[in-house]
Amino acid sequence: MADFYSIMVGFMQQGGLFMYPIAVVLLIGAAITIERWVYLKREKIRNQKAFEDFLPLLRTNDHEKMTLFTRDNQAPVSRIIGCGLDMMKVTKQRADVEQAMNEGVMEVMPKLENRTAYLATLANVATLLGLLGTIIGLIAAFAAVANADPAEKSALLSQSISIAMNTTAFGLIAAIPLLIANAVITKKTRDIIDSIEMASIKFLNVMTLNRAIEAGAPKMQQAA
């Protein structure tokens, strides 16, 4: 462990000043990744539990109890279903109810997607900082070699280039995990949104079926 620490310290020191902005970018990206992962995991559990608790009420077709549930429960899926229930008080048209629920999804999505896009941006910034550090390092290296002793030029240039390339390497070391984190968090967000949309469709289908049964009941009684 001590050897690894000393290697990393030497690597950072040899890379020059641009190593530190890249390190800051990496730390910010790691913080965003951890925060998003914890938040999305919590929201996934909340949505699953909320819909499982809501299903028994959905089968009873008791609009009043369902409305009270969606108002008391703060899970995204509950708020979206609540939008549908509120619209059903105004109109029975499935398209209108579905539109109201879609608007609810649009309200929820920014919270689920918040800060995720920064990960790809930070990955690009880390890469560009690495390249910029390398270019500036090479410029300084060639300037130093220009005034050096001819016998030492080759060794000095080789050493300077090696040091300058450290920033490119560190930029890529920071960028690659951030790009992977962006893909993973985006996928996790998409899965939650898909599950919310699926729950919304199930709600609409059950409510549409219940209305069809209610509409057909009087006709069945008359026929009997």
Q: Which amino acid is at 181?
A: A
Q: Which of 36, 5, 21 is nearest to 174 (CA)?
A: 21
At 26-71, the pLDDT tens digits run: 999 999 999 999 999 999 999 999 988 888 888 887 888 888 988 8
107 domain-assigned:
yes
The better pLDDT of the pair 133, 34 is held by 34
11 Ramachandran zone, left/alpha/beta (phi>0; psi -120 to 50): alpha
Is residue 99 situated within a structural domain? Answer: yes
| Whether this model's pTM surpasses 0.85 | no
The whole-angstrom separation of Cα 42 and Cα 34 is 12
Q: Is the residue at 224 inside a domain?
A: no
State the total domains in the chain: 1
In a domain, 222, yes or no: no
- 78 within a domain of the structure (yes/no): yes
Using one digit for the tens of pLDDT, what is the confidence trace for 169-215? Answer: 899 999 999 999 999 999 999 999 999 889 888 888 888 777 665 55
Grade residue 223 by pLDDT with cuts at 50, 70 and 90. very low
Would the pLDDT of 86 be above 70?
A: yes
- Tell whether 217 is covered by a domain: no
163 assigned to some structural domain = yes
- Cα(189)–Cα(183) distance, rounded to whole angstroms? 10
CA angle, 170 then 163 then 146, to 5°: 145
| Residue range(s) defining the domain that contains residue 175 | 17-210
Structure token digits, residue 22: 């890249």
Q: Considering the domain boundaries, does residue 95 fall inside one?
A: yes
What would the mean pLDDT of 124-142 be, rounded to a whole number?
Answer: 86
CA 162 to chain centre: 37
Instruction: List the single range of 3-7, 134-138, 173-177 with lowest mean pLDDT.
Output: 3-7
